[in-house]
Chains A and B, each alone.
Chain A
Amino acid sequence: MPDLLFEIGTEELPSWYVDQGREALHERVTALLEDAGLPYAQVTSFATPRRLAVRVTGLPEATERTTVKRRGPSAKVAFEADGSPSKAAAGFARGLGVDPNALRVETTERGDYVVVELEVGGEPTAEVLPERLAEVVRSLPAPRKMRWGSGELAFVRPVSWLVALLDDTVLPVDVDGLKADRVTRGHRFMAPDPIALDHPGAYEDRLRDAFVLASPQERRDRLREALAGAAAPEGLTPVEDDELLAEVVNLVEWPVAILGRFDARYLALPDEVLSTVMIHHQRYVPLQAPTGELADRFVGISNTVVGDASAVRAGYEAVLDGRLYDARFFWDSDRSQTLAQHAWGLAGIAFQKGLGTVEDKVARVRAVAPLVGQSVGLDEKTMAALQSALPLFKADLATGMVDELPELEGVMGRSYALEEGLSPAAAQALEDAVLPKVSGGALPAGDAGAVVSVCDRLDTLLGFFALGKRPSGSADPFGLRRAANGLARVLTANAWDVSLRDLVAMVAEGYADADVVASEDVRLEVERFVWDRVASLLGDEGVGVTAVRAATAGAPPVVLAARRAHLLDAVSATPAFEALQALYKRAANLGSQAPSGVAPDPSRFTEEEEAALLRSLPAAADGVETVIASLQRLLPGWDVGQGVAFDWTKVDGLDAVLSVKEPLDRYLDDVLVMVDDPKVRENRLALLRAVSDTLSALGAIDEALATSA
């Protein structure tokens, strides 16, 4: 049972591609083996900044043998009068490399045809693999490839060598002139000599001897160990940052921790500034004291063990010092002006052609946010914080620090506001207003900032939709999907009881005097777009699309729609509810012919079923209210899309809702609604309308029916 090793040696890959490339290679080689008819025991993949590799164990000596049938010409034209094969049949046979006299006739649904049975497979593994492996190199997916030298091959970075070993034999893989061998390379500096591999099994061990940890997990474990080891003697711990670790582990083949320090006077800078400078510019790991405060220490991860690390440490420290010097420069010079003065600079920063500058955008948000704040029920103190934060919204965009370190937007607004003595709540609102920054990123901590965040995002959506710049397909150059996702998350997390339609209308007022028109069509389009994003986030939580469609009917508040979606998704699978949905559908269809709000007149009832149905409605209405109230209790507000624990059996009132089912069923079966007498007919329709109105607070529940259809 031979083993395969295939390694693509490269010049240094971008750190973000190391894992991605390894997974792609793993997947492509697995697919290749299946396609070629080569079963295997196990596939293991490896990657470092200088290599992507895969090892397959337990391959057969040859591909699996199977028989395939090929159909040739119709029997009518396949033979001459004397029974010998015709030209057509001979050609068919020749094409497949078989003797024309071996053809036989088979009767099919469409008549008699010449067929031939071919034995396929049984090709030696060593012959099947080379060209297919070469193709894997040529077609390995990557977001952005490059060419180099005079060749045509494109890869993420230049490919330097290939190893292709089937047990102890080199496979003749040839990728545009680059030929595979058994020779890999160790660490660029610590083991520069070529390493000839005898067998795939020796791969990681030989590389480990050459200061390369090819297994991502092993490298990560070593990195964590090294980090903790460097920090512990100082009584400090590394700041947990998975994104940073994932990057650093793929910047090195052999992680070595170097402890460094910086001038303690830089500790006067906000922690976020310090860690952003360390992480973003240098990929150093900040260290923190047990109190959680940053220390004047860091760990840099080197790729090389050196005799005397003092030069490396001095280099790390000197570069960081230069960066912190700049940050300190901006911190001081930014504070020589107030945020209100910085805000003047927003007039010079374009937001989007047709939508004005950032100053224009801030003015629109300022105009509408207090109203939105009131509508979501902010208390007096929070309204005050909102009012003092609004004039400074986005002012930090015009500061030197944010210009230099854009990821500090919001954080600097808060920090500078605190320095000028703004209230902590208002300062926090300035940071919260720009959250969430990325998909899955942190949400606003306070309500005032959340209101600004909602207004800002809706303003963006309305503006771009009014300009006709909607996302199409996967292209979303203005980040509108991200904006709408953030909006939906903030609204659901804060559980604000304002309908999306009303919110859109309030924010659209900001465009009252603008050049673009946030028309009703635009507003409806934005609403639909946001519902699509809500559906996608709920989809991430496992809620079916039909339940979402049912739950979002009637322009409810986003959080209510999300709650109803969870409920409908869960209960639609129960037979009792399914029956109610079917009845509701009939009731709603007919009832829609009657106007809403016209109560049925019991004096016009002629059948007991009519009276019975009307009698059942108050209990059902109570049930609906109880359901909504218990949904509110079970799902008080959550970060939609991240998943939420919800047990529908704990929802009260469902039985009361279902109590309408039996009288409704009898009414629909036994009472003829569309009678000739217009007064009776209208009264019967009004009764159905009353039923659907009662239940509609749960959403267009019949829409959820399609789940089971």
Chain B
Amino acid sequence: MQFQDITLTLDRFWSDRGCVIAPPFDTEVGAGTFYPTTFLRALGGEPWRVAGLAPSRRPADGRYGDNPYRFQYFYQYQVLLKPSPADVQDVYLESLGALGIDVTQHDIRFVEDNWESPTLGAWGLGWEVWMDGMEITQFTYFQQVGGMDCKPVSVELTYGLERIAMYLQGVQHAFDLEVAPGVTMGDLRRDFEVQHSRYNFEMVNADLQRTLFDAFEQEVVRLLDERLIHPAYEFVLKASHAFNLLDARGVLSHSERQGYVQRVRRLAESCAAAYVAPQDTKEGDA
């Protein structure tokens, strides 16, 4: 199964189960959880089902393309179901079946994983799903998002696509994956990975990123005053990415790092609070 067939299959699978297939978002995120279609939509009482490819960036995880599994840019497949259905584990296992994995012929395990995102003020309980010792999915029941209790509770499924594809294609390095006939993942991403690894670890202009972080932070505050929640939230993501770059560059002391984490978290929480706040009837609203 070619890499793009995997995403197409998952799109079809989750579409058939009532999900909106949302296109990838266009601001850098550390994980699909940061997508507004996950973070914001997990808040409040409205039912919601969404799935789709979620390219993600974790600058510190770059290995210049040397490590077969770790990259600073990678693909997650992200599913959010609200409220969490009672049969979600079975449905998830069916989705593996749709990818051609016979779950009865592997060692599939749900291993405890307590997920927490300090920058999002979010936590949940669930599992890492292991297939033959390899973590292929994170499975999380959100308990709090943006500092607020989730009612109802959403369940988030995050597939590690490269790993699943490597297994399906029997290759040893994610860059050897065939994405489409005659095109490998390496063709698409090798230069990008090597150059960004070098940028993240060696070339990030720390002064610039610190300045940008401060500016993004102020922008969030200014925009929330105007109840421009979506634009404000995008600046939270930008601030978060600036922090991730500083972190990868290795210029943050422990306490400074904690300080940045808390600042991002405050921004994320204020967006969450604004998102669920009852809509004011402002002057000028028609």
A contacts, CB < 8 Å to B: 11-16, 49, 144, 146-150, 157-158, 160, 188-190, 251-252, 256, 258, 282, 284, 300, 302-304, 306-308, 311-316, 318-320, 322, 325-326, 329, 348-350, 353, 357
Contacts and interface: CB of A to CB of B under 8 A. Distances in A.
Contacts of A348: 253-254
Contact of A11 (B89, B111, B132, B172): B89
Contacts of B105: 306-308, 311
Given A348-B254, A350-B253, A160 B111 contact: no
B104 A318 contact: no
A252 B153 CA distance: 27
Contacts of A329: 67
Nearest to B45: A150
A353 B107 contact: no
B108 interface: yes
B246 to A, nearest CB: 13
A304 B69 contact: no
B194 interface: no
B84 interface: yes
B68 A315 contact: no
Given A144-B125, A149-B83, A314-B132, A189 B103 contact: yes
Contacts of B84: 148-149, 158
Contacts of B108: 188-189, 303-304
Contact of B132 (A190, A284, A311): A311
A352 to B, nearest CB: 9
Interface string B17-32: 0000000000000000
30 contacts: A12-B109, A13-B112, A14-B112, A15-B112, A144-B125, A146-B124, A146-B125, A147-B141, A147-B143, A148-B83, A149-B152, A149-B153, A150-B83, A150-B153, A158-B86, A160-B86, A251-B111, A256-B107, A282-B133, A284-B133, A300-B133, A304-B107, A306-B104, A306-B105, A306-B107, A315-B106, A315-B132, A322-B69, A329-B67, A353-B255
Contact of B143 (A146, A189, A313): A146
A282 B172 CA distance: 19
B13 interface: no
B134 to A, nearest CB: 5
Contact of B255 (A307, A308, A311, A350): A350
Contact of A315 (B112, B124, B134, B151): B134
Interface in B231-260: 253-255, 258
A251 B253 contact: no
B131 A315 contact: yes
Interface in B176-200: none
Most B CB within 10 A of own CB, among A16, A49, A284: A49
A319 B67 contact: no
Most A CB within 10 A of own CB, among B85, B112, B258: B112
A322 B67 contact: yes
Nearest to B250: A348
A375 B107 CA distance: 58
Nearest to A260: B133
Interface of B: 67-70, 83-86, 89, 103-112, 114, 124-125, 127, 131-134, 141, 143, 150-153, 155, 167, 172, 253-255, 258
Contact of A190 (B104, B153, B255, B258): B104
B104 A147 contact: no
A319 B127 contact: no
A49 B112 CA distance: 10
Given A284-B133, A325-B68, 13 more contacts: A12-B110, A146-B125, A149-B83, A149-B85, A303-B109, A311-B105, A311-B106, A313-B132, A315-B133, A319-B134, A322-B67, A350-B255, A357-B254
Nearest to A326: B67
A17 B258 CA distance: 31
Nearest to A160: B86
A170 B167 CA distance: 45
A349 B85 contact: no
A150 B151 CA distance: 7
A349 B254 contact: yes
A401 to B, nearest CB: 15
A358 to B, nearest CB: 9
A308 to B, nearest CB: 7
A188 B167 CA distance: 22
Given A304-B107, A312-B107, A315-B131, A147 B153 contact: yes
B86 A322 contact: no
A307 B107 CA distance: 12
Q: Closest 5 CB pairs between A and B?
A: A315-B132, A14-B112, A12-B110, A350-B254, A302-B107
A171 B85 CA distance: 26
A357 B172 CA distance: 42
Contacts of A188: 108
A338 to B, nearest CB: 19
B104 A189 contact: yes
B90 to A, nearest CB: 9
Given A315-B133, A353-B255, A251 B103 contact: no
Nearest to A156: B125
Contacts of B86: 149, 158, 160
B133 A320 contact: yes
Nearest to B85: A149
Contacts of B258: 350
A100 B132 CA distance: 73
A322 B105 CA distance: 23
Nearest to B104: A189
Contacts of B150: 147
B198 to A, nearest CB: 16
A303 B253 contact: no
A157 B84 CA distance: 13
A302 B109 CA distance: 9
A558 B25 CA distance: 63
Contacts of B67: 322, 325-326, 329
B141 A148 contact: yes
A15 B112 CA distance: 7
A304 B104 contact: yes
Contacts of A326: 67, 70
A251 to B, nearest CB: 7
Contacts of B255: 350, 353
A304 B106 contact: yes
A106 B225 CA distance: 75
A148 B153 contact: yes
Given A15-B112, A160-B86, A350-B254, A146 B141 contact: yes
Nearest to B149: A147
A318 B109 CA distance: 17
B169 to A, nearest CB: 13
A312 B132 contact: yes
Most B CB within 10 A of own CB, among A147, A256, A307: A147
Most A CB within 10 A of own CB, among B107, B108, B152, B255: B107
A160 B84 CA distance: 13
Given A146-B141, A311-B132, A350-B253, A11 B110 contact: yes
A303 B109 CA distance: 8
Nearest to B109: A303
Contact of A251 (B85, B104, B109, B254): B109
Contacts of A146: 124-125, 141, 143, 153
B152 A150 contact: yes
Contacts of A320: 133
Contacts of A304: 104, 106-108
A11 B108 CA distance: 14
A420 to B, nearest CB: 23
B106 A312 contact: yes
A15 B167 CA distance: 27
Nearest to B143: A146
Contacts of A144: 114, 125
Contacts of A322: 67-69
Contacts of B127: 12
A318 B134 contact: yes
Contacts of A318: 134, 172
Most A CB within 10 A of own CB, among B108, B132, B150, B152: B132
